[in-house]
Amino acid sequence: MNIFQYPSRPEWAALQQRAAQQQSAEVEQRVQQIFEDVRQRGDAALVDYGRQFDRADLSGAGGLRVGPEELAAAGAQVSSELQAAIRQAHANILRFHEAQVPRPEQVETMPGVSCWRRAVPVQRVGLYIPGGTAPLFSTLLMLGVPAKLAGCPHIVLCTPPQPDGSVNPVILFTARLLGIDTIVKAGGAQAVAALSGGTESVPAVDKIFGPGNRYVTAAKQLATRYGVAIDMPAGPSEILVMADATANPAFVAADLLSQAEHGPDSQVILLSDSLYILEQTQAAVQRQLQELPRAEVAAQALTESRAVLLRDVEEMLDFSNEYAPEHLILAVESPEELAAGVTNAGSVFLGHLTPEAVGDYASGTNHTLPTNGYARNYSGVSLDSFLKKITFQRLTAEGLRNVGPITEVMAEAEGLRAHARAVTLRLESLNLEEQRKEKSVSS
């Protein structure tokens, strides 16, 4: 990691640049071809792509869908220690997301005018969970918990098959814990294509969630052209650590490497007002890097990473808010005070004893977060991601008399006569009804 000392503010933009994520025309063209193939050939295309990309033969009994026997047997292949960890993480994530359940709200904006909003689950959701060298069962928890809590009636899980045609048992154990039993053995852009249009074995969905490589990312973007929503724009994982003189360089180094090992295009940024902390952290990174199974991947990510010496925590905060990191660690003396000034970040970790890794797995917050600066205008996945909010209103006769004339005036001012007439006819009807009642009483 190169150290940049006291850069001027005009120089910050260059230091905040992510590695260029070139979604090449070749990738987009290939993904388009996969979409068209899956839409034309359905399951047959998925079987062929499974053989081509995953070296898996899915043409036999069972085919693309995980059967109940395979799902039930998965637990026996997962250690009791990991099962217990997943169950506790599930409980923590559930507890945090339960607090997000919307409360009923009804407002009388004028006498006789009642308005309210009701949360309705997205009816059909697709969860894409990578299953290659790092099967992300933790992401299945992060997506499956709020999907079930929201009450989404149809949940489809797509994950790549292993060469023997099975699905990673930890993913299946987690799916069973969540109560998800529609599981498709398909990965990559072809899985997204299947979810967006449906095949014989894959139900079409309304919204797709989950991370993936550049082909999956391009496929999710293409899916939106077919009327399917996605969770958020996705990109490589990233972290920014703000460390003052009280920080522990070994802790900070471990946090930086925890993101660098995600992939070669991940980015880590270290800010400090202490040159000593930067230098000691850099040395700790080199020591710890040698011990990592994914050292080569992390080392490549570090080539696009930076350490920046700034004057004080206020400058660090300004730099961070401009960068808008996916993950932000405040390894400083007074993290709560500094956290109050954070305006752009996906998820924030306060203090020296709060590693970002706990958020990835088990603290309870969701780890599906905006990257590539999208934290300026996107939130991470939450219960709301799986809900739609529908507004309702009901007027009494008094309410129509109160709000109707206002509507008429505004509609006429915009030249929308039919809008005004929809109110006028009702007011006239009310007046006639009132006149009839008066005549009936007087007679």
CATH entry, 235-379, from 2.40.30.110, 3.40.50.10900, 3.50.50.60, 3.40.50.1980: 3.40.50.1980
Tens digit of each residue's pLDDT (9 = 90 or more) over 239-261: 999 999 999 999 999 999 999 99
Task: Give residue 319's pLDDT band: very low, low, confident or very high (50, 70, 90).
Answer: very high
What CATH number belongs to 25-232? 3.40.50.1980
213 is in an annotated binding site: yes
Mean pLDDT of 63-92: 96
360 is in an annotated binding site: yes
- The residues spanned by each domain of the chain are 25-232, 235-379, 396-442
The reply to whether 235-379 shares the fold of 25-232 is yes
Task: Give residue 48's pLDDT band: very low, low, confident or very high (50, 70, 90).
Answer: very high
pLDDT at 20 (0 to 100): 62
Identify the active-site residue in 326, 337, 367, 433.
326
374 is in an annotated binding site: no
Tens digit of each residue's pLDDT (9 = 90 or more) over 184-243: 999 999 999 999 999 999 999 999 999 988 899 999 999 999 999 999 987 889 999 999
pLDDT at 133 (0 to 100): 64
The model carries a pTM of 0.94
pLDDT at 111 (0 to 100): 98
pLDDT at 212 (0 to 100): 86
**Quick check: 442 pLDDT over 80?**
no
Please state, in angstroms and rounded to a whole number, the distance separating the CA atoms of residues 422 and 104: 30
Rg (CA), the chain: 27
Identify the active-site residue in 97, 261, 304, 327.
327
Tens digit of each residue's pLDDT (9 = 90 or more) over 403-440: 999 999 999 999 999 999 999 999 999 999 999 988 88
Known catalytic residue at 326:
yes
259 is in an annotated binding site: yes
What CATH number belongs to 396-442? 1.20.5
pLDDT at 72 (0 to 100): 95
pLDDT at 22 (0 to 100): 54
Is the separation of the CB atoms in 153 and 184 below 8 Å?
no
Arithmetic mean of pLDDT over the chain: 95
- Range in 56-70, 176-190, 283-297 with the lowest mean pLDDT: 56-70
Phi-psi region of 156 (alpha: psi -120 to 50; beta: other; left: phi over 0): beta
168 is in an annotated binding site: no
